[in-house]
Amino acid sequence: MNPAAAWLAARGVPLPDAPQLVEAGVALGCVLLSLALGWFAGRRWGPALSQAWAKRVGDHVVGIAPRICDILRHLVAVLVLAVVAQVRDWGALADIVIGLALGAAVARLAVQLLRGVGLARWIAWTVAAILFVSALSGAIGGLGPITNTLDAIGFSVGRRRLSLLAVVSTLLTVVVLYAVVRLTNRIVAHGVAQAGSLDPAQKLLAQKLASIAIVIVAFFFGVDLLGIDLTTFAIFSGGLGLAVGFGLQKTVGNLIAGIILLMDRSIKPGDVIVVGDSFGWVNKIGVRAVSVITRDGKEHLIPNENLMTQEVENWSFSDRNVRVRIPVGVGYETDLRLAQKLMLQAAQQSPRVLRSPKPNVWLISYGEYAVEHEILAWISDPEQGVGNVRSDVLNRLWDLFKENGITIPVPRREITIHNRPNEPAG
């Protein structure tokens, strides 16, 4: 007997006999074969599955696609190892070998999935450690001893017992459901975004309603999974009602207003709107506010309720064409027909001015020192701004006026001096 074996025997540690060592070697071979099958599956089908995932889901779940190969590898290894663990009644040493491999494969699979949906690294590794211990314990003798130990560590609050087992189960359930909800939301969002029969507002509404439905289903599923009695929420629901009635009134009002805006399609992402002093295009309609980006690059967050109660100018509600008014004044000595022709020419030469409806020139009034005109030009991209169109047309008109000798008048005042009666001049 070698010194190590003698040392273990002296302390009462049972040593495996030859059949147990052979069985452990067979189990180790099965473990290596399972890992090899997982590696082959990830190498063989992983890239094609990753491309299919990226094509079907797109950028909504960016973290999953590059991890598909590893996810498939660990998943196949877990499935094969689970089958190996059940094909026969292994001995204790073989159970340890299989349990270690199965726990490691489950932990690595959990890390890849949780990191793929964007969860923090520490959360992913914490869940992986719990799953590793659970898989290993289940393989070598069941979870009974661990669950009994965790359940024994705790205290009672009224008729409810709070134990370490309940805390671990709750945290694990919350993390898993959160990951599933996040992944499902993104897949549904991509599916809705690809629906060609829906306009942007309908797509956004469908995404919001689907997200709410998924969260509600996940909540009740988690409550049922944890065995929580729904009657315990009676007091909580009453408190929530009071909170909504007082403190959360504006929040709930903005949520409902946002849903109404999406349902009646009065304001859609991409629309150009004017609310008070805010002018810009709608970037997105959120749960609480509408994001409006101005031409200065500033993003204004306007509460949804304000858009329901205040007057809103929507420049692209039923038609994206917007008419730009450009005032121009010319002197009384000017050839008005020529000036009007040049005004029309300047508008037609501007690249953003539409040919249909075609621009027009109106004579508005005879002012104090100028004949007032107005150039009416149509554009179809108001989100690009209207001031730059006005500037472009006026710059072109300036050059045309200079070429044709037309001057732009400035205010003039005439002063007449009268001599008083019987007062010599001078």
**Is pLDDT above 70 for 10?**
no
> Which runs of consecutive H residues, i.e. helices, occur in 246-386?
249-264, 304-309, 336-349
**Is pLDDT above 70 for 423?**
no
111 DSSP β-pair partners: none
113: tokens are 């999935």
Per-residue pLDDT averaged across 355-382, rounded? 89
**Is pLDDT above 50 for 8?**
no
pLDDT at 397: 92
The string of pLDDT tens digits covering residues 92-136 is 778 888 888 888 988 898 888 888 887 888 888 888 888 888 887
DSSP 8-state code for residue 300? E
Laid out side by side, the sheet with 360-366 consists of 322-330, 371-379, 360-366
pLDDT at 235: 60
Provide the percentage of residues in the chain whose pLDDT is more than 90: 10
Contact 397, 335 (CB under 8 A): no
Per-residue pLDDT averaged across 185-189, rounded? 79
Residue with tokens 């200079």: 402
- Give which of 89, 81, 143 is closest to 107, Cα–Cα: 81
What CATH fold (topology level) applies to the domain 252-314?
SH3 type barrels. (2.30.30)
DSSP sequence for 249-261: HHHHHHHHHHHHH
- Domain extents in the chain: 17-142, 252-314, 322-403
Cβ contacts of 56 within 8 Å, gap of 6 or more: 190
What CATH fold (topology level) applies to the domain 322-403?
Alpha-Beta Plaits (3.30.70)
Residue 221's identity, in one-letter code, is F
Q: pTM of the full predicted structure? A: 0.55
Provide the percentage of residues in the chain whose pLDDT is more than 70: 80
**Is pLDDT above 60 for 60?**
no
Residue with tokens 């554009």: 379
Alpha carbons 366 and 172: distance in angstroms, whole number? 79
pLDDT at 363: 92
pLDDT at 36: 92
pLDDT at 181: 85
The string of pLDDT tens digits covering residues 191-235 is 777 776 666 667 777 777 788 888 888 888 887 777 766 665 666
Contact 363, 371 (CB under 8 A): yes
Per-residue pLDDT averaged across 304-331, rounded? 81
Q: Name the more confident of 173 and 339.
A: 339
The string of pLDDT tens digits covering residues 232-288 is 566 666 666 666 566 666 777 777 777 777 777 777 777 888 877 777 888 887 777
326: tokens are 């450009």
**Is pLDDT above 50 for 325?**
yes
